[in-house]
């Protein structure tokens, strides 16, 4: 097998070996249903409690404020739908942003069809929410503000503490989708006035299909899955015990390695960004130069089709992601790149590369050399580029 350079860690990450190891006994040995009464099921029960504690500690929360779900999408759905329902008597207005993940945006649209009003805030050219606009959007009937901690496409980190403060000054609940941020930046739910927070295991070297929603004590929120009494009667269904155990192990690992790991990633990210910006003409970096996730780089190459670039990188063993939402079968460029003001034709030539701590300088050199070669090849085939060069020559 040719060497694989995996630069799509915003899409998912490798499950860490120590995480897999922690999970295995809960498939084979301690498979008891945590809700059963016999001693054997106690192993499962204890393992869940331990994981919940580890996760709560990482956020400065209480264990009973952590509710396990089946992933980030479910947590986002739950946070919005259940708050909307529980607080509808107080008001029906929700504020979010134009750059949220579809798990938030499509849920917000669902609520709009059911009588709620949603304000989608603009962001500035680097993808940061404008606090003045947020303040102006607040109304007496606003019940919830939901702003993602860090963006999954361009990596921009939001002024979460300030947003939380504004929300609480107005007595409004504050939810944040921290799926990309948790494990990459230190988070304190109290410091940032966060009432609800979504996270997902597979984005931080944990298993897929497990997530949690942090719900601050006192927040009125309805049960999302009805059935048994699991998760304090708010999320029914037999617990994903191995998943929860792996999640705890992944969070522990993420917390313990954060400083060193993210410093390494940021160094390689900056090396990648510097080389691309210096050596490839007609390119721009999307997102903020410094205020971004340590592992995120996102570029737009003029006169290049992002999908073609991806396919040709794949032939060289490089996994990346493009800014156009072709996965959804639409040709529309990413809503995030639109929101930061990129014209369609520029947004279409976008490439997101998200690193992990295993990526070396040699890997980056190989990636940059490949990108340079492919971008030139694609431009040589582009009539738009030909016209552009002719005009330049005049």
Ligand X SMILES: *Cc1c(COP(=O)(O)O)cnc(C)c1O
Kindly list the residues in this chain that would bind ligand X in the complex (CB under 6 A). 71-73, 76, 101, 103, 148, 152, 177, 179-180, 200, 203, 211
CA torsion 153→154→160→166, rounded to 10°?
Answer: -90
Q: Which is nearer to ligand X, 13 or 54 (CB)?
A: 13
Are 385 and 379 in contact, with CB atoms under 8 Å apart? yes
Q: If we measure between CA atoms, which residue out of 208, 229, 268, 258 comes closest to residue 72?
A: 208
Are 240 and 18 in contact, with CB atoms under 8 Å apart? no
Are 225 and 78 in contact, with CB atoms under 8 Å apart? no
Contacts of 100 (CB under 8 A, 6+ apart): 108, 146, 147, 148, 177
Q: Which is nearer to ligand X, 152 or 382 (CB)?
A: 152
d(CA 213, CA 66): 6
Beta 296-301 vs 283-285: how paired, if at all?
antiparallel
Q: What are phi and psi for residue 284, nearest 5 degrees?
A: -135, 150
Q: If we measure between CA atoms, which residue out of 241, 243, 213 comes closest to residue 225?
A: 213
Q: Which is nearer to ligand X, 211 or 306 (CB)?
A: 211
Nearest distance in Å: CB 101, ligand X: 3
Nearest distance in Å: CB 203, ligand X: 6
* Range list of β-strands (E), the chain: 5-6, 66-69, 93-97, 117-121, 142-146, 173-177, 196-200, 211-215, 283-285, 296-301, 318-319, 321-322, 350-354
Is 192 a known active-site residue? no
Q: Which is nearer to ligand X, 103 or 173 (CB)?
A: 103
- With tokens 């002024």, the residue in question is 159
Nearest distance in Å: CB 175, ligand X: 12
Helix, strand, coil percent values for the chain (each to nearest 5): 45, 15, 40
d(CA 59, CA 66): 10
Q: Which is nearer to ligand X, 184 or 382 (CB)?
A: 184
Helix (H, G, I), strand (E, B) or coil at 220: coil
Q: Which is nearer to ligand X, 65 or 76 (CB)?
A: 76
Nearest distance in Å: CB 3, ligand X: 26
Nearest distance in Å: CB 149, ligand X: 8
Q: Which is nearer to ligand X, 179 or 215 (CB)?
A: 179
Nearest distance in Å: CB 222, ligand X: 20
> Which residue number places its CB atom closest to ligand X?
72
Pick the catalytic residue from 326, 356, 357, 366: 326
Are 272 and 232 in contact, with CB atoms under 8 Å apart? no
Catalytic positions: 326
């Amino acid at each position: 097998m040719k060497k694989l350079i995996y630069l799509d860690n915003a899409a998912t990450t490798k499950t860490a070996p120590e995480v897999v190891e922690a999970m295995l006994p809960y498939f084979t040995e301690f498979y008891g249903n945590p809700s059963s009464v016999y001693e054997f099921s106690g192993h499962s029960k204890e393992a869940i409690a331990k994981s919940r504690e580890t996760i709560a500690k990482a956020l400065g929360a209480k264990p009973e404020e952590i509710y396990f779900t089946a992933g980030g999408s479910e947590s986002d759905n739950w946070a919005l739908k259940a708050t909307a329902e529980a607080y509808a008597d107080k008001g029906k207005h929700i504020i979010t942003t134009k750059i949220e993940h579809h798990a938030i945006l499509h849920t917000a649209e669902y609520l709009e069809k059911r009588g709620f009003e949603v304000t989608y805030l603009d962001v500035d050219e680097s993808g940061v929410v404008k606090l003045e606009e947020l303040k102006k959007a607040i109304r007496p009937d606003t019940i919830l503000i939901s702003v993602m901690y860090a963006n999954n496409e361009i990596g921009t980190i939001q002024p979460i503490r300030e947003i939380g403060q504004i929300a609480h000054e107005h007595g409004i609940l504050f939810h944040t989708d921290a799926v990309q941020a948790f494990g990459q930046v230190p988070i304190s739910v109290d410091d940032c006035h966060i009432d609800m927070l979504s996270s997902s295991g597979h984005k931080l070297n944990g298993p897929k299909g497990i997530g949690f929603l942090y719900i601050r004590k006192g927040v009125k929120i309805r049960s999302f899955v009805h059935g048994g009494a699991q998760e304090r009667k708010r999320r029914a269904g037999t617990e994903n015990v191995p998943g929860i155990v792996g999640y705890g192990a992944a969070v522990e690992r993420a917390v313990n390695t954060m400083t060193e790991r993210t410093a390494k990633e940021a160094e390689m990210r900056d090396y990648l960004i510097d080389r691309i910006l210096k050596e490839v003409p007609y390119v721009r970096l999307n997102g903020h130069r410094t205020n971004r996730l340590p592992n995120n780089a996102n570029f737009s190459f003029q006169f290049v089709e992002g999908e073609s670039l991806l396919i040709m990188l794949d032939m060289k063993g490089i996994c990346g992601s493009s800014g156009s939402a072709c996965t959804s079968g639409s040709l529309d460029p990413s809503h995030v790149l639109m929101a930061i003001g990129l014209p369609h034709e520029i947004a279409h030539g976008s490439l997101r590369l998200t690193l992990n701590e295993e990526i070396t300088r040699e890997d980056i050199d190989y990636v940059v050399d490949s990108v340079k070669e492919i971008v030139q090849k694609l431009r040589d085939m582009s009539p738009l580029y030909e016209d552009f060069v002719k005009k330049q020559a005049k």
